[in-house]
Chain A
């Protein structure tokens, strides 16, 4: 299944997409400086709730994983862990230049450049920083795509799991931590 291919859905799934496309809960992973753009997006100036979006406390409850900024190798492990705890269907938005292609950290030894190699990104927001308008626009587009069943990142992740895992292991490596919290 290539990206963008449409498959026939059962009427249950169509109904599901109807609701999913109008109500998205996000969990933002505030790794970088991008998180500072979220408060104005949520509060009175831009008010993202009016479009059916809202923040959630844990990955179990959320639909969207918002990766706001650069990902060091250390945090990538956590992002993957959080993503795998989310419930299907789930979507990823890569936010800002760093998450798209590395941005100003493109040659850093400790950050990854392209998030899409490790997790299936459904929507990019370019910019350094993207303004709240851009965020709202991205969310709106994502909702529209969900309604039209054009988003299949979580299916891609399942299908190409081995490939993703390989990339992840290559970046993260197998790290065994020994301290009071780890055996």
Chain B
């Protein structure tokens, strides 16, 4: 078994899923589960082949530690979300295309992680972009897909430009050799670095390229939003890794100005990451659509991941990569729960829901644990990664970035709590009285993901071991652990011990609770209303304008999307002018322009 067999499984599986879906929708949906889960399992089979290279036709592949780690995260989210396709098979417009594109986009991602040369890299990159660009319009809106494609193209073209430039400079297409042997002065290398990383920034949704995320996440098919947030945006982190770790950025930029040991171009990107955290947080707080809310939280968490990877030290880098995993799992889980609610109720609007816990308790518990991880609260995986990032920022003394990190971290309590309170808790509307718990095929992945989040939060070593390998491969100091506990130079975290103590505290509280007199169950409507009689649960449910006082503070904020729209309007006007001046039907104007051009050319030729 080698990495080619995984790719073969995915490519062949994708085509097979298309044909099988034609025959039977259920078969196609099951194929998506089988192939994606199989690829996840097979990844562990090739873990010992790190470094091996394979060639297929013109494509060169090499298995690296970082590539394996990213493949591991992505195939996990793909494999888990695939279970939902079974329930949703009848709701898609084109179930056969969806099944095929779903598998192919994982194949594209994995091929991209395993790519040895730039051509392979770029071909698979485009495969991912195209497959996802075709999946997104299967949901609510075509415009979202259009914006996604445009933003992606900007990134892709910039990276293509950088690749061509690198080829011209080094004469080789092999990613590692080419990136490591780039020999340029400071400013050209900055431009090369920025253009190369641009596709990563667009993909991960860093300001000012974050506009596509909420649109695409919010209007993609419900089953594909977990993939977008937990999987596809993480491709950007891979590009960021290539441009900061494989490309010897710290050595080249080291000649220029440094800010607290960080070269300025990299610090600039970290500031962009910090801005993304703040924008993602404040925008997520005011969203009424649960999917858009989670999409903005992906923007914020993308900022953390980018900052972590850009730091290239032993603490923050490990934190960034662990956050990649923790956020992928937690965010995908949160999306899956919202999808389950949408499956039963048909809406993702927070203000239209309420009291779901009384009908979907398991979904609620899963959501609770995923948001605990997303907000970085122990004992979940998200805490360990955030802890590493914060410790790393503190060790370098990056106050401004740390401010953004804290703002995002505490702001995340606010935005993750909003769906918790307004969708799952509160009053149950009478129209939702007869709902049932999510179907079993939805509960399986949700529960598995929850177990993963909790396990990694209690025993972070399980994933940190992979990250230590990555750090060794990148040639930086590895994060130090003593017997399962993180033991970095300015802090110590034994996640297992924290979990046990938390369990101990919980036990004391439980005993106290049970010792005291028994409680009497009352209905939800039997609640203090200043002695007013209210019989309408919807009116007693607080879901609109949840953070109204806070939202008031920035209600007139500028919008990046509107800025782009205005810019495109101006561009269109210029186009209309050009059209009017040059492309009209009057022969006199055409002849005039031809004469002018000929004159200029003639004069130009004379010199």
Contact = CB atoms under 8 A, between A and B. Distances in A.
Interface stretch (B136-144, B148-156, B344-352, B529-537): B529-537
Interface string A139-168: 000000000000000000000000000000
A59 B528 contact: yes
A77 B529 CA distance: 13
Interface stretch (A33-41, A78-86, A98-106, A113-121): A78-86
B536 A78 contact: no
Interface residues of A, number: 13
A58 B531 CA distance: 10
Contacts of B533: 77, 81, 177, 182
B523 to A, nearest CB: 12
Contacts, number: 24
Nearest to A85: B528
Interface residues of B, number: 9
B514 interface: no
B539 A60 contact: no
B528 A181 contact: no
Contacts of A85: 526, 528
Contacts of A177: 533
Contacts of B539: 181
B535 A182 contact: yes
Interface string A43-66: 000000000000000111000000
Nearest to B430: A183
Contacts of A59: 528
Contacts of B536: 181-183
Nearest to A75: B531
Given A181-B539, A183-B536, A79 B531 contact: yes
Contacts of A60: 528
Interface string B534-545: 111001000000
Contacts of A79: 531
B518 to A, nearest CB: 12
Contacts of A77: 533
B513 to A, nearest CB: 16
Nearest to B539: A181
Interface in A6-45: none
Contacts of A182: 533-536
Interface centre among B528, B531, B532, B535 (most CB of A within 10 A): B531
Given A79-B531, A85-B528, 8 more contacts: A58-B528, A59-B528, A85-B526, A181-B536, A181-B539, A182-B534, A183-B535, A183-B536
Interface of A: 58-60, 77-79, 81-82, 85, 177, 181-183
24 contacts: A58-B528, A59-B528, A60-B528, A77-B533, A78-B531, A78-B532, A79-B531, A81-B531, A81-B533, A82-B531, A85-B526, A85-B528, A177-B533, A181-B532, A181-B534, A181-B535, A181-B536, A181-B539, A182-B533, A182-B534, A182-B535, A182-B536, A183-B535, A183-B536
